[in-house]
Chains A and B, each alone.
Chain A
Amino acid sequence: MHIPDGYLGPATCGAFYAVMLPIWTAASKIVKKTLKAKQVPMLAIGAAFSFVIMMFNVPIPGGSTGHAVGGVLVAILLGPWAACIAITVALVVQALLFGDGGITAIGANCFNMAFVLPFVGYYLYKAISFNAPIDSNRRVIAAGVAGYVALNMAALFTGIEFGLQPLLHHTATGQALYCPYGLNVAVAAMAGEHLLIFGWVEAIVTALVVKYLQKHSPELLEEKGGL
């Protein structure tokens, strides 16, 4: 889901930086107000955790493997605003140091993976698991549903961003200047693979991790006060 440089036109890249700027500012203010000084390393740990979670290859039926993005899991564990900062830092480190995801597309990547993914996932998890005890099965189901829906929402936004490029940037003869596929192809391709494969991987991983934490470290699943 990492959008590389060259897929999005300058106007789209600029617009997403502009959209993300107030979100980053709000996240920074909220986290600074709520987070105790001693919890600062937790953000760095959360960022590194979101970075490496993609290295866990998950077996899927048929002998193949996929990987989870982990955005919803980080949001459940840290709270959505702290997750927004942690995932942003992970995406910046990936783009700058490892060339994974474009530098000009950091705004768009952060919108999809550090904003849509954790916020949709976190609030869906909260809504489904409303008032359920920490060790309740409803929380496991809520985590799975949240993982599946949030990843598909993020994929849908990515597909829309790709699909808008031929409409926004083309020559007089109709030649596409950036991502060459329109909304019908880009959205269908992104939604298809996430609805059928990656969404399930995300759902299974998020649900199973919550299940294991319920059993072995339930204190880690306690509310983070809207952080």
Chain B
Amino acid sequence: MKRHSNNFIEHSLIGTLDFLKESLFAEEFALKKGFLQLLDPRIKVLTFLLLIIQAVLIKNILILFYLYALCLLLAAISRINLGFFLKRTWVFIPLFSLVIAIPALFSIFSPGEALVTFKLLSIKFVITQQGLSGAALFVMRVITCVSFAVLMSITTKHFELLKVLRIFKVPQVFVMIAGMCYRYVYLFIGIIENTYLAIKSRTGTRIHYKRGQQIVAWNIAYLWSRSYCLNEQVYQAMLSRGYTGEPEVLNDFRARIKDWLWLFCVLGICAFLFYLSRR
């Protein structure tokens, strides 16, 4: 372990670059003319929420597997690169879940019917039927939910996705703040990236972690005071665009026959899966 290191600069830079790269990819997929991209965003979000809730409710791994296969099929007919999609959905949350599910295989955490028994360093380990089924169901559920959530976000323009919140009766002010927040995130990430690049170019030697912590804190404080100054300018810009104190979110979505058909199709799938899981 190194006592002096600059890797917090590298990590922050990699984080911001990954974020921007991922957003670019997502925007690129959202603009394609695939099946999901052409659906009304309101119907799409509603149906995806139904599918995610269905995935949370299902207690049978085989039925969850069917649901996951449906998700991959939807990704394929929406012209999403499956390699990208699998990488995007498996990396981190499901892989992390897979790792944390491993101890749950063993009798110490999941007592039950012994399936496999082995000795390691003269300690007896027992993998139980209950542990294996529970861990497999857990990971399958997480990957199915994450895949549907990611598929929804990469096949919908982000601004439309936030506007859709209106159909769930989310107050206009929240929807407006979410839209503005989304813009600010990119502005702030740009600031962070530039600041860290500047720090990196000026630090030839390794920085002690205490000094590093001060640099980070200074940057956070600076970002906040810079943002605070923005407030007045943004408000003036809002006034010049007709803001009267009551936010208005334009509703220019239009549902067509195809959208309704998709909604009924998803309702049918959910009803069928529900029936299968209760059988």
Instruction: Tell whether A and B belong to one assembly.
Output: yes
Q: Which residues of A contact B (CB under 8 A)?
A: 4-7, 9-10, 13, 28, 32, 37-45, 47-49, 51-53, 55-65, 70, 73, 77, 85-86, 88-90, 92-93, 95-99, 102-104, 171, 173-181, 185, 204-205, 208-209, 211-213, 216-217, 220
Q: Which residues of A contact B53 (CB under 8 A)?
A: 10, 104
B219 to chain A: closest residue by CB: A56
Q: In the bound complex, do residue A99 and residue B220 qualify as a contact, i.e. CB atoms below 8 Å apart?
A: no
The SS class assigned to the B binding surface is helix
How many whole Å from A207's CB to the nearest CB in chain B?
8
A180 to chain B: closest residue by CB: B104
Given contacts A5-B52, A173-B113, A220-B224, 5 further A-B contacts (CB under 8 A): A6-B97, A58-B216, A59-B209, A102-B145, A173-B130
Q: Which residues of A contact B173 (CB under 8 A)?
A: 28, 32, 40
Q: In the bound complex, do residue A6 and residue B59 qualify as a contact, i.e. CB atoms below 8 Å apart?
A: no
How many whole Å from B241's CB to the nearest CB in chain A?
12
Q: Which residues of A contact B213 (CB under 8 A)?
A: 58-59, 204-205, 208
CA distance A208 to B145 in the complex (A): 38
CA distance A73 to B150 in the complex (A): 30
Q: Which residues of B contact A (CB under 8 A)?
A: 1-5, 7-9, 11-12, 15-16, 19, 22, 49, 52-53, 55-57, 59, 89, 93, 97, 101, 103-104, 109-113, 129-131, 133-135, 137-138, 141-142, 144-146, 149-150, 152-153, 158, 161-162, 165, 171, 173-174, 176-185, 187-189, 192, 207, 209, 212-214, 216-225, 227-228, 230-232, 234-235, 238, 245, 247
CA distance A36 to B225 in the complex (A): 19
Q: Which residues of A contact B247 (CB under 8 A)?
A: 40
B145 to chain A: closest residue by CB: A5
Cβ-defined partner of B189 (8 Å) among A52, A103, A104, A209: A52
CA distance A131 to B235 in the complex (A): 32
Q: Which residues of B contact A176 (CB under 8 A)?
A: 104, 110, 130, 134, 138
Q: Which residues of A contact B109 (CB under 8 A)?
A: 180-181, 185
Q: In the bound complex, do residue A174 and residue B7 qualify as a contact, i.e. CB atoms below 8 Å apart?
A: no
Q: Which residues of B contact A97 (CB under 8 A)?
A: 153, 158, 161-162, 182
CA distance A22 to B153 in the complex (A): 28
Q: Which residues of B contact A93 (CB under 8 A)?
A: 162, 178, 181-182, 185
Cβ-defined partner of A44 (8 Å) among B111, B184, B217: B184
Q: In the bound complex, do residue A40 and residue B227 qualify as a contact, i.e. CB atoms below 8 Å apart?
A: no
Q: Which residues of B contact A6 (CB under 8 A)?
A: 55-56, 97, 138, 141-142, 144-146
A204 to chain B: closest residue by CB: B213
Q: Which residues of A contact B232 (CB under 8 A)?
A: 38
CA distance A47 to B182 in the complex (A): 9
Q: In the bound complex, do residue A49 and residue B177 qualify as a contact, i.e. CB atoms below 8 Å apart?
A: no
Q: Which residues of B contact A174 (CB under 8 A)?
A: 110-112, 130
Residue pairs across A and B with Cβ atoms less than 8 A apart, 18 shown, are A5-B52, A7-B97, A32-B173, A42-B228, A48-B184, A57-B11, A59-B207, A61-B209, A62-B3, A98-B153, A99-B93, A102-B149, A104-B53, A173-B113, A177-B134, A208-B213, A209-B217, A217-B225
